[in-house]
Amino acid sequence: MHLLHLVGARPNFVKAAPVLRAFAKMGFEQTLVHTGAALRRLYVRSFFQHLQMPAPDVSLEVGSGSHAR
């Protein structure tokens, strides 16, 4: 089975980290996608390192903007 994880905001990183580790231990193939919304790259790298998460496989780099946009 292949799992796709989509993270964007800081709370998503905290929630996804243990899930990624648990499924990795069970041998699941996983793809991690980061939306790139509203966070600076430096902060994102820091979150991934601190939470011991793998680097995202895909970064959408959507940036920030209004809900109307």
Residue with tokens 């793998």: 54
- Asked if residue 24 belongs to a domain, the reply is yes
- Per-residue pLDDT tens digits for 53-62: 988 899 887 7
pTM surpassing 0.75?
yes
**Pair 61, 36: CB distance under 8 Å:** yes
CA distances (Å), origin 45, targets 9, 27, 64: 13, 25, 17
pLDDT score of 69: 63
pLDDT score, position 36: 79
Q: Would you say residue 65 lies in a domain? A: no
Distance of CA 15 to the CA centre of its chain: 10
pLDDT profile of the chain (69 residues), mean per 10: 90 92 97 80 76 90 70
- The answer to whether residue 67 sits within a structural domain is no
Q: How many domains are contained in the chain? A: 1
Which domain covers residue 11, as residue numbers?
2-59
**Per-residue confidence (pLDDT) for residue 3, from 0 to 100:** 97
- Determine contact, residues 58/33, Cβ cutoff 8 Å: yes
